Each structure stands twice: as structure tokens, then as C-alpha cells.
Amino acid sequence: MTGEIGLLALCLALALAIVQTLSGLSGARVAGSLSRGIATSSATGQFVFVALAFGALIYASVTDDFSIANVAENSHTLKPLIYKISGVWGNHEGSMLLWVFVLSVYSAAIAFLKRGSDRLTSAALGVQGLVAVAFIVFILFTSNPFVRLDPAPFEGNGLNPLLQDFGLAVHPPMLYTGYVGLSAAFAYAAAALIVRERDWARAARPFMLAAWIALTLGIALGSWWAYYELGWGGFWFWDPVENASLMPWLVATALLHSALATERTGAFRTWTLLLAIAGFSLSLIGTFLVRSGVLTSVHAFASDPTRGTYILFLIFGAIGGALALFAWRAPSLEEGASFEPVSRETALLLNNVFLTASAATVFVGTLYPLALDTFTGTKISVGPPFYAATFAPFFFAMLILVPFGPRLGWHRGNLRAALRTLYPALGAALLAFALILAFTTPRSLFGAAAFAVAAWLIASSAIDFWTRGWRGASPASVASMLGHAGLAVTLIGIAGTTLWRSEALEVLGPHDSMYVGGYELRLDDVVGVKGPNYDAARAIVTVKRNGETIAVMHPERRVFPAERQETVETAIRTTIFTDLYLALGDRRDATHWILRAYVNPLAPFIWLGGLVMALGGLAALWSRMRKPRAVPDAMAAPAE
């Protein structure tokens, strides 16, 4: 009965989502108090039933109910428990159910927190309900995770071995929390247009922050997984699926900064609305890329063109409807007070220009090759050289301007005074530039510039901290310091790993040695190992430096009999400043194997910086979770 319970719960959730949509939009009227109460209750009920459906699928997977096709295709009795659970979202149907579950969590949060005016909250719930209706219909008619098999097989097919990893157990839920979280910002923006609410950014900001934090951690986790699991020694390949998560993050970052100005002075009111629409639109485009079958990837599970067509229509409907509403209502919204060319508003405007330009370059580099292949059959590859020439200049320009914003006043600022406070940071940047050029080999102007910009950001954050002191710094200022410093730490890791890595590949037999980055690697043996659901060839590699043994490492190649697939399990010896990275390649004969080795300077900084940025976001979220000043419904013009 597990499958039937889950399917019934999903149908009931659809019914409640329809009620939520109608009552929420009806509650946007001045005299819609009864409808507003119904919308709140419907959102809560929808969350309960979607959670029940999601829990039913997890229970079916954990108990090996192979009469459900989704479980039979993605699970196995020998699979460890954690991967039985994570296997629920390691496929198309289950991942879409996770998508809707996260959406229901945000809807329930909007209903529970009730930020902003009653009419604004009600309209936001109506928009959220409309999105839920679209996705639940998509699941029920094209991606039903509760389809039965008759007769049921005795054993399942197992999950893709690449997905049987802790990183992939937590990466998709975290990324979806960010993707879907942008629906809340989208819903508040649409609601603001419906009720002509000016103070919507204050109400929506906690949801923007939650989505941004989750996207930051999700992208970092995905990069970390690709680094240690795929065995190629890198952390980012500019793959379309990777870019699908980067684009919403860039726009969400711009949205956070723009919304701050909108909240404080009313500036960029229409631009902030447009960014909220763009952020969720890019999340939908990312869903299309991953779930439509247009890409072949470990992330891309769907190959049914019906699914892709539905998602495409959903994207056009959401974007087209939101832009039509924007074109209708936005001209009637008043902008805030004017500001001088030298002001915090101008700094935030330039920040937005560079961030959106960066997102646009990623958008073009991701979708142009797909469009060219679709319409002409011509296949082209867009890789790191393209992004180095287009993305990097915009992003670096944004980083250089970042420290000025907090030092300029609203409406009017003093550029000379701001620059004077940054002289120590400028000195740190010049010193970093000179040291990198003097002491690194090979010399790299790009690397020196990257370290200079990183020093500029870190030093400016340190100056802020020193000036204000721990007790004098507000949570918002702490959040800004951590966010900017974390970005600098990640930049250091990217520059060090990209520009100064060492690598070697050799065929080794027992007791043969190879050398890479000052390390001697001796292959002592390769032995067979039996895992819970795999067989592995495990190398025993002695690592020496300056003649002394410092470690013994064990890279593996695993074979999963149930899935009939092979994976590489890397071995990484990490310190705060470098990674020694080993991957066991193919077997050449009875005793000889290929061994790949990389020395990646400063690689841990990549993910350390992501963690620091997320901590900054959490500090900002903590400061925002106080209930804002209630906005009287009279401030919003009657809906027409």
C-alpha cells in the first residue's frame, strides 16, 4: 500500500495547491480576509501531504519494495542504507518529488512567518500555489514515482555508482533548497506587482538569503564531489549542468544587493523585481537542462521528450506571465529618492551590472552550443578559454569595487574619504602582487592579479572588523565581512590550483616509483578488496618527501556487479595549503597499473571560502529573522 498512499497524498496535495492558488490570489483583495485564512491553511496542508508522499517513497526504498518501478530501477538489497535514502532523489522521478517537497516547505514558511502585509503574503501564497500546481501535474502525468510493476522483480537494478557517495547524498537537497528558494522571492515579487506593494523586499529578504546560502553550499558540495569522486583532479569544468547552478547564484547575489538598496531608500525598485523574476527563471532553465534529456550527464536522468516539452512550456508560461505582469504593473510603482553619482546606491548599481553581465556570459556559453546543435546540427565546445575571456573580466571588476560600497553613504558619499580608509588594503594588494610575481614559478600576471584582488578584499574586511570591533559590529556588517572575505579565500584556492598544479601519469609495477611536485610515490602493491556492494582493486602507495615516508595512500578502482559499472575512488592527502591527489587508472597487465597524481596548491581554500561565505549569509539571515514592521494594507493600492 506504500505506493498507493504516496500517490493519494500527491493527489490531495494537488487539490490543496489549487485551493491555495485561488484563495491566495483572492485574498490579495482588500476584502479577502476569509480567503487569506484558507490560503494559509491550504499551504500547511499541502506541505503535510507532499511530505507524506516523499516519506512514502523513502520508506519504499528503505524496505526494498521492488514492486514500485522507481525503487526497482534505482535500488538494490546490498546497497547501504544511506544510499537507499539518497537514491530516492538520484533519479528523475524522485528528484522532481524532492523539488515539490522543498517548494511546499517554502510555502508553509511563507504562511507561518507572515512577513509583510496580509495581502502581500496572501498573493505570494497564491503564486507559490500556482507553481506547485504546475509541478505536481508534471509529476503525476509524466514522472509518477509510484508506478507499480507486476510481477515485481526479486532484485533491483541498483543506483548509478557515481551517485553512491556522501557528497551526492547531500548535494542535491542543498542545491534544490537554493533553486526552489528563489521561487519564494519570485512569489513575493509577483505579489508586490499584484497588490502594488512597495515594501516587499523587506518581507522577501530572509527567503532570498536562505536560497543564496543553500545555493552557495550546494555549489561548493557539488564541486567538492566532482573533485574527489571523478578522478580527473579538477573542481570545475564549466559543464552546462554546473553552469545551471552558477547562473541563479550570480543573479541571487545581485538580487541581495539590489534588494538592500530597495529596502533602505526605495532605489532600484523595478530592477529588484526584475532580478527576482530572472533568478527563479534561471532556476527553471536549470531544471530544464537537467531534467529534459537535452544533456547527457551523471546529473541528467530524463530522456523522455514529453517531459522536456512540458518543462519548456512551464518556463515560457512562468517567465512570460511574470514579465507581462511586470510590464503592466511596474510603471505604477514609485521609485525612491534620487542619489548622487558617488553614493552607496551607485556602488550597488555597478555591482549589479557586473554580476548580471557575468551571468549573461555564462548563459550564452551554456545555451548557445545547445541551440546551435538543435537548429543546425553543428557541435561546438565552449570551455575555460571562453569564460576566462568573458566571465573573468566582469567578475574581477566587481570584486575590485566591492569594498567601496560599505564605505559610501546612502544618497551621497565621499569617495576620497572611502579611499583613504582603504589605503592599507591597497598596500596589502600591491604587496601580494609583488610577492606572487617574485616567488612563484611559473610567473603568472593573472595569478598575481588574483592574489592582489583577494588581499584587497580580505584586508578591507579586516579593516572593517578592526574599526568597528567585535562588539560594535552588527550582524549585517559581520555578514558583509564574511561574505566578501569568503569569496576572496575561494579566489585564492582557484588561482593556486589552476595556475600552479603539478601532475604526472605513469605505468607502475610493484615497487616502481614516480615523482610529482616534490613527492616520491612508490607503488607497493595492488590488492583485492570486498565492499558491501562492490569489488575493488586497492593500490598501496607509499609517499615520501625528502627521503622520509610521510603517508601511505590507497586509491581504488571499484566494480559494482549489480550496476555493471566501474568507478575511480581517489586518495587525497590534504593540508591547509595543498592536496596530494592520487587516482588509480586502468590495469595494463598482471602487475602493472596506470597511476595519475596531482599536487594542487591551495585547493582546500576553494571550499573553505564557500563555507565562510555561507556563514556570512547565516549571520545576515539571523539578523533578519525578527518579524518586520507590519505594513498596513492601506499602503497597497486596491488590486484591479
* CA angle, 221 then 222 then 226, to 5°: 115
pLDDT tens profile 223-281: 999 999 888 889 998 988 899 999 999 999 999 999 999 999 999 999 999 999 999 99
Chain segment 486-503, per-residue pLDDT in tens: 999 999 999 999 999 999
Pick the closest to residue 287 from 256, 310, 321, 254 (CA basis).
310
Of residues 170 and 474, the one with the higher pLDDT is 170
- Number of C-alpha atoms within 13 angstroms, CB side, residue 36? 19
pLDDT at 229: 87
Bridge partners of 538?
527, 556
Nearest Cα residue to 205 out of 113, 130, 112: 113
Cα–Cα distance measured from residue 421 to residue 406, given in angstroms and rounded to the nearest whole number: 11
Query: Which whole number is the average pLDDT over 82-92?
Result: 91
- CA 493 to chain CA centroid, Å, is 19
Q: How confident is the model at residue 640 (pLDDT cuts 50, 70, 90)?
A: very low
Amino acid sitting at position 362: V
Dist CA 96 CA 176 (whole Å): 10
Joined together, the cell numbers standing for residue 513 give: 616509483
DSSP H/E element including 69? helix 69-74
pLDDT category of residue 295 using cuts at 50, 70 and 90: low
Looking at residue 292, what is its pLDDT? Answer: 65
Q: Which one is predicted more confidently, 639 or 617?
A: 617
What's the pLDDT score for residue 637? 39
Q: Are 395 and 358 in contact (CB under 8 A)?
A: yes
Say if residue 469's pLDDT is above 80: no
Mean pLDDT of all residues in 622-633: 58
What CA–CA distances, in Å, run from 572 to 237, 247, 418, 596?
20, 30, 44, 12
The share of the chain scoring above pLDDT 70, in percent, equals: 95
Residue 634, pLDDT > 60, answer: no
Query: Span 171-179, mean pLDDT?
Result: 93
279: its cell numbers: 533568478
Cell of 509: 609495477
Question: Cβ distance 556 to 584 under 8 Å?
Answer: yes
CA–CA separation, 290 vs 92, rounded Å? 9
* Residue count of the chain: 640
How many Cα atoms occupy the beta-carbon half-sphere of 18 within 13 Å? Answer: 7
Please report the pLDDT score of residue 638 as a whole number.
36
Higher pLDDT, 244 or 627: 244
* Residue 596 burial (10 A CB sphere; 0-12, 13-18, 19+): buried
Query: Which of 70-84, 97-111, 130-144 has the least mean pLDDT?
Result: 70-84
CA pair distance 502, 592, nearest whole angstrom? 23
Give the range with max mean pLDDT: 78-92, 221-235, 331-345, 539-553.
539-553
What is the band of 198 on the pLDDT scale with cuts at 50, 70, 90? confident
- In the structure grid, which three cell numbers stand for residue 295, read together? 544533456
What's the average model confidence in pLDDT over 494-523?
96
For residue 303, pLDDT over 80 is answered with no
Q: Which of 605, 610, 622 lies closest to 479, judged by CA?
A: 622
Q: How confident is the model at residue 632 (pLDDT cuts 50, 70, 90)?
A: very low
User: Residue 478: which of 610, 620, 344, 351 has the closest Cα?
Assistant: 620
Q: Using one digit for the tens of pLDDT, what is the confidence trace for 362-397?
A: 999 999 988 888 788 888 888 889 999 999 999 999
Model confidence over 452-465: pLDDT tens digits?
999 999 999 999 88
In tens, the pLDDT along 315-329 reads 899 999 999 999 999
Across 335-361, average pLDDT: 92
Q: How far is residue 381's CA from residue 79's CA, in Å, rounded to a whole number?
A: 37
The position carrying cell 528563489 is 182
- Could you tell me the pTM of the whole model? 0.93
Which are the contacts of 407, defined by CB distance < 8 A and separation ≥ 6?
413, 417, 418, 421, 422
Does 631 have pLDDT greater than 50?
no
Let me know the angle formed at the C-alpha of 145 by 142 and 149, rounded to the nearest 5 degrees.
105
DSSP state letter for 570? -
- CA separation (Å) from 219 to 57, 170, 232, 432, 476? 26, 11, 18, 28, 23
Q: Is the pLDDT of residue 306 over 80?
A: no
For the chain, the structural domain boundaries read 1-164, 166-411, 412-500, 503-601
3-state secondary structure 290-301: HHCCCCCCCCCC
pLDDT at 417 over 50: yes
Q: Are strands 556-560 and 548-553 parallel, antiparallel or unpaired?
A: unpaired
pLDDT at 297 over 80: no
* Contact criterion met (CB below 8 Å) for 165 and 225: yes
* C-alpha angle 629-635-640 in degrees, rounded to nearest 5: 135
B/e letters for 457-469, b = 16+ CB within 10 Å, e = fewer, are bbbbbebbbeeee
The three cell numbers of residue 162 are 557515481
Name the 3-class secondary structure at 520: strand
pLDDT the model gives residue 311: 84
Instruction: Indicate whether 166 pLDDT > 60.
Output: yes
Q: Residue 527: how many CB atoms within 10 A of its CB?
A: 11
Beta-bridge partner residues of 597: 504, 582
Which residues make Cβ contacts (< 8 Å) with residue 68, sequence separation at least 6?
2, 3, 57, 60, 145, 146, 147, 148, 149
Task: With beta carbons less than 8 A apart as the criterion, state whether 403 and 419 touch.
Answer: no
User: Residue 522 has what DSSP assignment?
Assistant: E
The answer to whether residues 362 and 278 touch, using CB atoms and an 8 Å cutoff, is: no
Q: Is the pLDDT of residue 471 over 70?
A: no
Beta bridge partner(s), residue 598: 503, 581
Question: End-to-end distance of the chain based on CA atoms, in angstroms?
Answer: 48
Closest by Cα among 103, 110, 120 to 13: 103
pLDDT at 296: 52
C-alpha distance from residue 117 to each of 26, 30, 104, 466 (Å): 15, 11, 21, 39
At residue 149 the predicted structure's pLDDT band, cuts being 50, 70 and 90, is very high
**Torsion of Cα atoms, 126 then 127 then 128 then 134, to 10°:** 110
What are the φ/ψ torsions at residue 500 (nearest 5 degrees)?
-125, 25
Mean pLDDT of 196-207: 92
Q: Taking the CB of residue 627, how many other CB atoms lie within 10 A of it?
A: 10
Q: Which residue has the higher pLDDT, 482 or 306?
A: 482
Q: Per-residue confidence at 174, pLDDT binned at 50, 70, 90?
A: very high
Residue 640 has a CB neighbour count (10 Å cut-off) of 8
Gap between the Cα atoms of 484 and 399, Å rounded: 9
CB neighbours of 575 closer than 8 A, spacing ≥ 6?
A: 604
Amino acid at 112: F
Distance, in Å, from the CA atom of 86 to the CA atom of 298, rounded to the nearest integer, reads 15
Statement: residue 630 has pLDDT above 70: no
Gyration radius from the chain CA atoms: 26
Residue 232: its pLDDT value, please?
A: 86
Q: Are 596 and 585 in contact (CB under 8 A)?
A: yes
Mean pLDDT confidence for 561-582 = 92
